[in-house]
Structure 1
């Protein structure tokens, strides 16, 4: 997997879960949001509902679907199975390591390469089909986005319900730009504004 189609999109990580709060690896465990996670999602709605999304592409995992339902109401919601979080095998439900061994293959789990290719394929399908998508998924999915646009998955973990505008190379920059979405940046998206 070499990169992503050069189309802008917004990424949103799910709201806080108990595993996030106590720094455990959830991976493929289908855990719910905490009350704080639900509130984080609701708090994002005033910004996200200012856009009519062509597609809200969401992981099928409960924490992502619940976040999408609470955070946005202005576009059709489509579940993509390959946007689910990485299967961490024997490391699931264990403390998050510092640094995380992203490139190791956990026993009974998914290798980085398999995860990257799975998620990258799903993102490519979304970007080829929809002009202005919102992707609601997981911190591991954002690491794949970072790897495919910046060359490495390493870097700070994206915050819960922190919308990130992902802009492809253009006249201003030869590289993808990943930056927090603000009201001022909404005009950078090729999406119609929602009527509010």
Structure 2
């Protein structure tokens, strides 16, 4: 079994944040690799982002997104009226010539795709962007991509491999005494009741 990277150039700052992946796109629906392709949300993706607004209904110290429209449009719909900072460091991985091919053709995350971005380079730029946000705000909201969460997962449990994060579902990522914890996030109890049945099982570091 291969390991993703034995030497880390950076580590995720041990501060809490909320992460949400963008809503559905057509490439998501077709089970295709969606890297730097700047595709819009589908009508379902926009509905998913609007639904997330009930779970994210609070003032945020900082909202950051990638510069790709599927992320910043999700932020516009999920936290309306709150300004979002667009960071290129949070853009999805550049999959090079593999972009828009079937997910079944996607290689291991540690492999460098032809004409694309190496895992080490991708991880370094994502961590720089995340750590900048974590250092400047108390519990920021990060609206980004499944690949960004794989970088987070690699920091938390040592591997990027695992289930793909659902579209437009927020998670609280926080350090604890026994390591990092990742749980579904809703802003207040009434939102939790409204969301009941609409959230997937917790993603756990255990």
Select 1:145's aligned residue among 146, 152, 160: 152
- Match of residue 169, structure 1, among 164, 176, 181: 176
Check 1:123–1:32 CA distance in 2 against 1; reply closer, same or farther (3 A cut): same
- Does 2:128 correspond to 1:116? no
Per-residue CA deviation, residues 130-168 of structure 1 (Å, 9 max, x unaligned), is 112000000000000111122111110000001011011
SS at match of 1:177: strand
Paired residue for 1:63?
Answer: 70
After TM superposition, give the deviation of residue 2 of structure 1 in Å. Answer: 3.8
Tell me how far 1:4 sits from its aligned partner. Answer: 1.2
**CA apart distance, 1:58:** 0.5
Q: How far, CA to CA, are the matches of 2:39 and 2:175 in structure 1?
A: 33
Matches within 5 A, 1:17-96: 17-49=25-57, 51-73=58-80, 75-96=82-103
Deviation (angstroms), 1:100: 4.4
CA contact (8 A) 1:8 1:167 kept: yes
The 8 Å contact of residues 2 and 148 in structure 1, kept in 2 or not, is answered as no
2:184 to 180, 185, 188: 180
3-state SS of 2:104 partner: coil
For residues 154 and 82 of structure 2, the distance between their equivalents in structure 1, rounded to whole angstroms, comes to: 27
Gaps of 5+ in 2: 1-8, 192-206
Alignment check: 8 A CA contact 1:53 1:76 kept: no
In the alignment, the residues of structure 1 paired with residue 104 and residue 141 of structure 2 have an alpha-carbon distance, to the nearest angstrom, of 29
Query: How far 1:23 sits from its partner (Å)?
Result: 0.3
How far apart, in 2, do the equivalents of 1:83 and 1:28 lie? 11
Displacement over 3 Å in runs of 4+: none
Number of residue pairs aligned between Structure 1 and Structure 2: 181
Supply the distance in 1 between the matched residues of 2:119 and 2:67 (Cα, whole angstroms). 20
With structure 2 as the length reference, what TM-score do the two structures score? 0.84
CA distance in 1, matches of 2:59, 2:103: 36
Q: Work out the CA distance in 1 between the residues paired with 2:125 and 2:167.
A: 22
RMSD of aligned Cα (Å): 1.6
TM-score, normalised to structure 1, is 0.88
Cα pair 1:15 1:40 within 8 Å, conserved: yes
- Say which is worse superposed, 155-164 or 70-79, in terms of deviation: 70-79
